[in-house]
Amino acid sequence: MVEQELKNLVDEFEALEDQVFDLRNDQKGVLDRVNSSGYDKKAFKKVISLRKLQAHEREQQDHAVKELMLKLGM
């Protein structure tokens, strides 16, 4: 019983790894389309990461970056 449960967990985990691999390939395909459409992939990825943040978190991050840039004379 314990061996079968462990085997099932291993099988489930491996199936999830396969799904993650497929999803990563799908993401790569989207990024290829972003690039072929003339958009900057790095900027696109940044927008995606910023969308995950709450508005106040984006503002805090933006403020911190601007503050550092000012201190560096940029």
For the segment 20-72, what is each residue's pLDDT rounded down to a tens digit?
999 999 999 999 999 999 999 999 999 999 999 999 999 999 999 999 999 99
pLDDT score of 22:
98
pLDDT score of 29:
98
34 close to 44: Cβ distance less than 8 angstroms = yes
31 close to 41: Cβ distance less than 8 angstroms = yes
50 close to 58: Cβ distance less than 8 angstroms = yes
For the chain, give the mean pLDDT: 96
